[in-house]
Amino acid sequence: MPRNKRHIDRKEKKEEILKAAARLFREQGFASTSMSQLAAAAGVAPNTVYWYFENKDDVLIAVLNNALEHGMQALSIRHAEPLIERGKALLGLLEDYGSLVTTVHALLQESDAIREWHDRFHQIVLSIMTAELINHKIPEAEARKDAWVLMYVIEGLWAHPQSADERELILSQTLYRIGIDPSAPAPGG
């Protein structure tokens, strides 16, 4: 009897491929992971992946969506902690997916699907950060602009390998310049 017919349903099999993809993309990078390698890791023939995903970019987007969901959940649990702690935690989470930021940016010009995901991601992050800053008593008009600054700094820290000490220094300097005491507990919580 064939291995994967009816034994595993579509959703489960897709999840399996996705799990292998997440691991390989993180370990070796997106470009260095071939569809053949991904298929082998998931235990299928190279072209079978195309039955579950449109193309390689589509696999990436699915991996990114999983990571985003996981990250937002992990962050919401820490809602009562000081902003600097939450920022450090966020960077810790992102670290695992460090290479994927630049992968997304690199594909931005070539893939409409990637660009859509990227724009949506920015919108989400910006609105979360704006709300966070307003919660810390920054006027809304300022908070909107500061959120961009904060997002770009986090993206920079994300994309560049740096020691944890350096990262904390730059992150807390940014918060300090915006006018937030990094170690103060979250207000209004």
Partner DNA sequence: ACCTGAACACCGTTCAAGT
**Secondary structure of the chain: what % helix, strand, coil (to 5)?**
75, 0, 25
Q: Return the residue of 41, 75, 108, 186 that touches a copy of itself, per CB under 8 A.
A: 108
**Choices 8-16, 25-33, 35-43, 50-58 (CB under 8 A): range interacting with a copy of itself:** 25-33
Structure tokens at 121: 């991601």
Lay out the site mask for DNA across 37-76 (x = CB under 7 A, - = otherwise).
x------xxxxx-xxx--xxx-------------------
Shortest separation between residue 122's beta carbon and DNA, angstroms: 24
Shortest separation between residue 124's beta carbon and a copy of itself, angstroms: 15
Shortest separation between residue 82's beta carbon and a copy of itself, angstroms: 19
Calpha distance 111→178 (Å, rounded): 35
CA atoms within 13 A on the CB side of 108: 10
Calpha distance 154→37 (Å, rounded): 32
Structure tokens at 33: 């992971």
Q: Tell me the site size for DNA, rule CB under 7 A.
A: 24
CA of 43: how far to CAs of 48, 62, 175, in Å?
10, 19, 47
Per CB under 7 A, residues contacting DNA are 2-5, 8-10, 13, 33-37, 44-48, 50-52, 55-57
